[in-house]
Structure 1
Amino acid sequence: MRLATVYGSPTPPGKLARALGLLEQGVRDRHPGWEVERIAPRDSIAPVVATWGDDAVERIGGADAVVLASPVFRGSITGTLKILIDMLPNEALRSKPVGILTVAAAPHHFLSAERHLRDILSWFGALPTPNSAFFVDRVFGDAEVDAEAVTDLREFADQLVVLAERLDGRHFGPDPLTVRFTRKRT
């Protein structure tokens, strides 16, 4: 099975990338048979926007599970991640387990980006994990990451892997509203 992790930041790898790397390594170590691939923006246009490679949509669509990782930026996800989401066809995330990983500068941002992503994922008919992962960025600033944060990342990844394995590619209905109201009626 394959996990696609999406690094939704336009900035060079930093604390969010470190958190995502720990999650990815945890999946490789604890779940034999799982392949993990990171999808990251290719070109930064400005400090707040970057573009994606032509294969990003295909790689997400071909994954069995996805982690969307974003720093909290002005109370929501980054424009970079939103650009990628806007490129995805509905079927790329339909009935697919998706985990939400966010990192912010302050604890009071803990639900801002997650709330927006959950709304977006429902539009796709995706299956968000019951629990997301949120961290204050300073957790990943020290040379050694706190054991509790590593455990939280491990448990977050485990729920995503278990959900994907149990679903085994099943689709759930009814179709999301966007599909029902855009398909041709006969």
Structure 2
Amino acid sequence: MRLTTVYGSPTPPGKLARALGLLEQDVRDRHPNWVVDRIEPENPVAPVVATWGDDAVERISGADAVVLASPVFRGSITGTLKLLIDMLPNEALRSKPVGILTVAAAPHHFLSAERHLRDILSWFGALTAPNSAFFVDRVFGAAEVDAEALADLREFADQLVVLAENLSGRHFGPDPLTVRFTRKKT
């Protein structure tokens, strides 16, 4: 099984990358039948945007589960992550477990990026994990990450693994609107 994680920040790896790395290592340690594949943006264009490699869409499409990780940027996800999402064909996330991991500077941002991502993922017909993982960035700025944050990452990973292993190959309907309204009529 393959978990593809998406580091959705155009900035150099920092606290979000640390959170994502801890999640990835936990999956490797506790689920040896899983391969973890991280996709990171390439070619920073400006401090707020970067582009993606040619194989990013293929790697997401081939995953059994996906984690979309983004800092909360001006109340939403980054433009860099949105660029990648816009490149995905409808089938890339259809009936696929997708988890949302966000990190923000303050606790009152806890639903902003998640709400936008949930709306986008429903457009694809993704199986958005019921519980997302949100952290205030200072948690990953400390020398030692506290046990509660590590436990939250572990539970977040477990729900994706359980969803993917138990629902693999299943197709859930009805088709999302994007599929219904773009289907060729016969």
Same fold (TM over 0.5): yes
Question: Which TM-score tier does this pair reach, normalised by the shorter chain?
Answer: over 0.9
**Paired residue type of 1:158:** D
**Residue equivalent to 2:169:** 169
**For residues 184 and 148 of structure 2, what CA distance do their matches in structure 1 show?**
50
**Residue equivalent to 2:74:** 74
**For residues 170 and 42 of structure 1, what CA distance do their matches in structure 2 show?**
33
1:168 Cα offset (Å):
1.5
**Residue equivalent to 1:91:** 91
Instruction: Could you tell me which runs of 5 or more consecutive residues in structure 1 were left unpaired when the two chains were aligned.
Output: none
1:43 Cα offset (Å):
1.0
Does the aligned pair in 2 maintain the 1:64–1:169 contact within 8 Å?
Answer: no
- 1:3 matched to 2:3: yes
**Residue equivalent to 1:150:** 150
Instruction: Could you tell me which runs of 5 or more consecutive residues in structure 2 were left unpaired when the two chains were aligned.
Output: none
Runs of 4+ in 1 over 3 A off after TM superposition: none
**For residues 29 and 83 of structure 1, what CA distance do their matches in structure 2 show?**
32
Query: For this pair of structures, how many residues does the alignment match?
Result: 186
Does the aligned pair in 2 maintain the 1:64–1:97 contact within 8 Å?
Answer: yes
**Residue equivalent to 2:48:** 48
**Residue equivalent to 2:125:** 125
Q: TM-score, normalised by structure 2?
A: 0.99
**For residues 4 and 110 of structure 1, what CA distance do their matches in structure 2 show?**
23
Q: TM-score, normalised by structure 1?
A: 0.99
Identity of aligned residues (%): 89
Deviation sequence 1:8-60 (CA, Å, 0-9, x none): 00000000000000000000011120000100001110000000000000000
1:183 Cα offset (Å):
1.1
